């Protein structure tokens, strides 16, 4: 069973995803986002997630999402796809340049293929970007376009997709 949990920022999607795996004896928590050691607010968000997770869950902080997915040996939770994408765009200097699009497409292909091939119970968290305005800034448009594509690709190979709004869950 593979589940994508989507919704807005602070909608309750991470908590929903964690609850989907709460009964599992062993869970690998995959944190594939960038590390911003000087951002105190970001570190506080990460700490809040760590505190909420069961102590027996294994955490892997690694931006090689496809590689991690091929190595997990049981249920796994990815939190979250949008921070993974942010890290990929950082790596490729995609915020300000062009010419990286094929490489990002290849990385998305590899992540989707690894997700689809995994025999394990998987849950991924992502932000829903399709409900707002088109950004006036190039970086915002790049992010929304690529995250929308990534979300669609993962959703296509999921058994269920859950939209979380104000802590309420709607199965799509």
Is residue 49 among the annotated active site residues?
A: yes
Residue 125: which of 32, 42, 2, 4 has the closest Cα? 4
User: Going by C-beta distance under 8 Å and a sequence separation of 6 or more, which residues neighbour residue 33?
Assistant: 63, 80, 83, 84, 86, 87
Annotated catalytic residue, options 35, 40, 49, 137: 49
Q: How many CA atoms does the CB half-sphere of 29 hold within 13 Å?
A: 23
Eight-class DSSP state of 153? H
Three-class SS state of 11: coil
User: Going by C-beta distance under 8 Å and a sequence separation of 6 or more, which residues neighbour residue 45?
Assistant: none
CA pair distance 70, 88, nearest whole angstrom: 19
Residue 127: which of 24, 44, 17 has the closest Cα? 17
Question: Which residues participate in catalysis according to the annotation?
Answer: 49
């Amino acid at each position: 069973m593979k589940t994508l949990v989507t919704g807005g920022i602070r909608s309750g999607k991470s908590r929903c995803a964690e609850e989907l795996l709460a009964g599992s004896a062993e869970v690998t928590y995959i944190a594939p986002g960038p590390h911003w050691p000087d951002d105190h607010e970001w570190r506080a968000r990460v700490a809040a997630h760590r505190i909420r997770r069961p102590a027996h869950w294994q955490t892997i902080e690694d931006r090689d999402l496809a590689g991690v997915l091929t190595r997990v040996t049981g249920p796994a939770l990815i939190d979250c796809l949008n921070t993974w994408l942010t890290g990929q765009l950082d790596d490729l200097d995609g915020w300000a340049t062009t010419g990286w699009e094929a490489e990002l497409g290849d990385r998305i292909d590899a992540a989707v293929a690894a997700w689809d091939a995994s025999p394990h119970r998987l849950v991924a968290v992502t932000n829903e970007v399709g409900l707002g305005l088109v950004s006036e800034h190039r970086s915002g448009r790049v992010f929304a376009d690529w995250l929308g594509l990534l979300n669609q690709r993962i959703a296509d190979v999921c058994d269920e997709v859950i939209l979380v709004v104000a802590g309420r869950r709607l199965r799509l």
